[in-house]
Copies of this chain bind each other. A is one copy, B any other.
Amino acid sequence: MTIYDIAKKAGVSASTVSRVINNKPGIRESTRKRVQKLLDESGYTPDISARGLVTQASRFIGILIEDIRVSHHTESVYVIEQEMTRHGYTCITFSTGADPCQKAKYIEILEQRRVEGVILIGSMFGADEVRNAIRRHLPEVPVVIVNGMLDLPNAYSVLIDEERGTEDCVALLLRKNRRYLAYLMDVPTPANLHKLQGFCTAMQRAGLGDGKAHTVYAPGMDTNPIASIARGREAAKEILQKMPDTDGILCSTDALAIGCLQELQSRKIRVPEDIALVGVDNSVYGLVCSPTLSTLDNKLAEVSLSSARLLLDAFEQKALSRKLMLFTEVIERESS
């Protein structure tokens, strides 16, 4: 069922049908009615790709993410997809995996589909391969990086102030009269390094010494939260052994915090009485466990919505800035 079929039935030319479909002026009301009726009855739907060929607008945007199964990414994808769909765009979403070369492959697919814009979610898109792939395959379309930066003329960023957020978490622990704080650090992504920086700054300011000395590392690249939790348990052991005085632990993710919690509980260490615990992410896990977990809300929905809006603005050259900074919020629950 094409525009020509409709044209034939209506006894007009394809141009006229096209004009009716797109509500263009210069069509007699009576013909418009007649064609529209045929359009409705026949169940015709335009082939958007064919249209895109001449209008040079695919109405596609690409979303690249390392692994859609990690729950905060899922939330982002959801929000972005809703917003873009609302504006007539269709999202093509790929889980790229960690390998930068693989990411480049997906970027090429996006070019083949002629996406009008791209949103990169996650902080692992800083690799050179990615930069080059974008420069090569998508030099013209706006690219929004959620929680990361890319030094390219067509790149935009939406960031959250992780450093300040972490400082706020330390402040919470201090308010609870904790003085022997430990920090549990995940993979050294740019975002996580910012958090670490925040921890160190806050420690310094409180006169509690060198933050790095109070930091335990539990790096690992896992998509499965269970693995993170296991890392958290191991790290907790290390903390207890190296810093037996610890009365407050700040973890760079909720999953790690859950791991700590499990380890502490298995040793009959009371949370928060003996050790207060604070995570980062505001994930569901923090509500499922007992005691419920104090955490840092990174405003995922807001950040994602902002990225979608930023991209839409960029389409119309209306973007106010290439960089958007949003703030986090501490959520105080039972574990602190």
Q: Which residues of A contact B (CB under 8 A)?
A: 43, 45-50, 52-53, 58, 67-69, 71, 74-75, 77-78, 81-82, 85, 90-95, 108-109, 111-114, 136-137, 224-226, 229, 258, 262, 265, 284-285, 287-290
If A43-B136, A262-B290 touch, does A48 touch B95 (CB 8 Å cutoff)? no
Counting from the closest, the 5 A-B pairs by CB-CB distance are A49-B49, A48-B112, A45-B111, A45-B112, A74-B74
Hey, which chain B residues are within 8 Å of A50, CB to CB?
A: 49, 53
Docked pose: A279 CA to B46 CA in angstroms: 47
Residue of A81, A82, A113, A262 ringed by the most chain B CB atoms within 10 A: A113
Q: Are A94 and B71 in contact (CB under 8 A)?
A: no
Interchain CB contact under 8 A, B95 and A82: yes
The reply to whether B95 and A92 form a contact with Cβ atoms under 8 Å apart is no
Given known pairs A45-B108, A58-B49, the reply for A287 and B74 (CB within 8 Å) is: no
- Are B78 and A69 in contact (CB-based, < 8 A)? yes
Other A-B contacts than A43-B136, A85-B94, 9 sampled, CB-CB below 8 A, are A48-B113, A49-B50, A49-B113, A68-B68, A69-B78, A81-B93, A93-B93, A225-B288, A229-B287
Instruction: Point out the residues of chain B lying under 8 angstroms from A224, CB to CB.
Output: 284
Is the pair B67, A78 in contact by a Cβ cutoff of 8 Å?
yes
Closest to A46 in B: B112
Closest residue of chain B to A47 (Cβ to Cβ) is B114
Q: Which of B47, B67, B137, B229 contacts A288 (CB 8 A)?
A: B229
In the complex, A76 Cα to B49 Cα: how many Å?
27
A262 to B78, CA, bound (A): 29
A50 to B47, CA, bound (A): 11
Residue among A67, A75, A82, A112 having the largest count of chain B Cβ atoms under 10 Å = A112
Given known pairs A45-B137, A94-B81, A112-B45, the reply for A69 and B75 (CB within 8 Å) is yes
Provide the bound-state CA to CA distance between A75 and B229, in Å.
19
CB-based contact B49/A114 at 8 Å: yes
Q: How far is the CA of A285 from the CA of B229 in the complex (A)?
A: 12
Contact A258 B53 (CB under 8 A): no
B43, B77, B92, B226: the one within 8 Å of A90 (CB): B92
